Amino acid sequence: MESSTLKNTFEDIKNNFFTSPLIKEDDLKDGGLYVDTIEARTGSHYKSPIKDILVACTNTSDNTNFIHLLLGHRGCGKSTEINKLEIEFREKEFAVRKIDLTADTNSSNLEVNDFLILISHALLDICREKNIIIEPDDVKKLYSFFIEEEEIIKDADQEEYGYGYEAGFSFSAIVKLVTGVKAQIMNTSSKMTTIRNRVTKRFAELNECFTNIIKKIQQEDNKKRPIIIFENLDKITPTDTIFKLFEQGYLEKIKTYIIYTFPISMSYHKSFGPIEDIAKTHNFPMIEIKNQNGEKNQKGYDVITKIIEKRAVLSLFEENAIDLIIEKTGGSLRDAFRCITQAAIYAERKEKDKISTEEVEMALNDQKQSLSKRIEYQDYKELKEIHEALDKTIIKDKQKMLEFLKAHVVLEYNGDRWHDLHPLIYDFLKNKWELINTPTTT
């Protein structure tokens, strides 16, 4: 079935090949822009990290694995999969809340107490939606976290949080209060600092409220635990912040299903071991367009071609243009989309009616120049060793591999987690490797 957004002009290509995730439900369902890529990523249609998360979080008898990490490279398509997963949770009538950390927090100064505030809001919002009234004792206790009791009567606070003293400790008032606090989460005022400190200092009390609210939701919702998704954790900087969030021991004690997108490169860090002890990890690798031995993986080419065909008629591309895009972008959908968009711009400027390999090569050269700026001469030798390794699953220097993966100059594939250079980095380096052993003159 052809997508309703499918067009046949260069202008339509520029509109359709956006690099942001698919969000609209129509795009994520049959007949939309979504394509199932699991087999081309993992080697098997049945080996799906997304299905694993779906099953784990909808298993009402599982009371152990509450933290799930979806690991994937930036731009590999995991946010689209998260959006589709959210729809599937809702179709199974599970209460789910998705939180975009880059939009709802100060991502450069993220702390665990921000997560606790966001979880508080998510649970209360689910109760509000389902008309679930939590116990008065929990309402009163939540008040003590987010505002001092004597402050309730202050006019300033009444105006700020949108409720009055006459509301007392009502459920609707605490929902408004926590919604107000969530809206100010990026505020560095003394009041927000006090709230942040309080939710961690008295975490045992707060988590008791969480547990009671989760149980109340289960009682009213056929034993189904609520599901919270934290998206874009992989975009948080500095990366040490990510490890600190889990090392403090708060998040693992919350007894409902919470899914975090996580940078796959960080799984090579020495601090990742303790996180694996408390979380179930799910790898979402790149689409494999070649095998370890360098042979073409036709399944990878076919699935990316299908993705392209969902967004543009293939007759807009001359013969071999699409294969060249796939080959040189290494299975990275973001890179492929950027190349297609830029190639369409070049073809349009040349007043051509099709995108040829000439425009594709121009666009690929632009990307190559951008990627090459992320490496320096000192990296050439290690990158050469990665490319020429007979066993590409072996990692000699984890720290360096982490840096290369984050820079997107090395790509990781399949469940075996093997690595190779981004094809454009290989093209950049293949004529420069001879410099490695060339004596430096003074």
Instruction: Output the CA–CA distances (angstroms, integers) from residue 86 to 76, 90, 322, 403, in the order listed.
Output: 18, 6, 32, 31
Provide the domain limits for residue 162: 38-283
The model's pLDDT over 377-401, given as tens digits with 9 standing for 90+, comes to 999 999 999 999 999 999 888 889 8
Please report the beta strands in 73-148, taking only residues with DSSP state E, as ranges in sequence order: 96-100
| Higher pLDDT pick, 262 / 376 | 376
pLDDT digits 0-9 by tens, 182-200: 999 888 888 888 999 999 9
Nearest to 262 by CA among 105, 401, 405: 405
Residues 404, 258 share a domain: no
Same-domain status, 384 and 274:
no
177 and 217 belong to one structural domain:
yes
The tokens for 372 are 């090459």
Q: Are residues 249 and 124 in the same domain?
A: yes
- Over the stretch 213-247, which tens digit does the pLDDT of each residue have? 999 999 999 999 999 999 988 777 666 778 888 88
Instruction: Output the CA angle 72-75-81, nearest 5 degrees.
Output: 65
| Residue type at 389 in one-letter notation | A
What local confidence, expressed as pLDDT, does residue 247 receive? 87
Same domain, 55 and 183: yes
Residues 398 and 363 in one domain: no
- Separation CA 261–CA 243 (nearest Å): 13
According to DSSP H, which parts of 167-226 are helical? Answer: 171-183, 190-201, 203-220
pLDDT-based confidence at residue 441 (cuts at 50, 70, 90): very low
Cβ neighbourhood burial of 396 (10 Å; 0-12, 13-18, 19+): exposed
Beta strands at 418-421 and 410-413: parallel, antiparallel or unpaired: antiparallel
In the chain, the number of structural domains is 3
Select the more confidently predicted residue: 114 or 160.
114
Give the 3-state secondary structure of residue 134. Answer: coil
Say if CB 261 and CB 232 are below 8 A apart.
yes
Asked if the model's pLDDT at residue 264 lies above 80, the reply is no
Taking CA atoms, 5 is separated from 2, 26, 314, 355, in Å, by 8, 10, 14, 20
Residue corresponding to tokens 């045992």? 204
Residue 44 located in a structural domain: yes
Same domain membership, residue 115 and residue 254: yes
Which of 63-67, 157-161, 167-171, 294-298: highest mean pLDDT? 294-298
Whole-number pLDDT of residue 238: 64
Whether 26 is in a domain gets the answer no
Q: Based on the fold, state whether residues 277 and 136 are members of the same structural domain.
A: yes
Kindly state the average pLDDT of the residues 8-13.
87
Q: Which amino acid is at 339?
A: C
Residue 276 sits in the same domain as residue 299: no
* In a shared domain, residues 365 and 251: no
pLDDT the model gives residue 1? 36
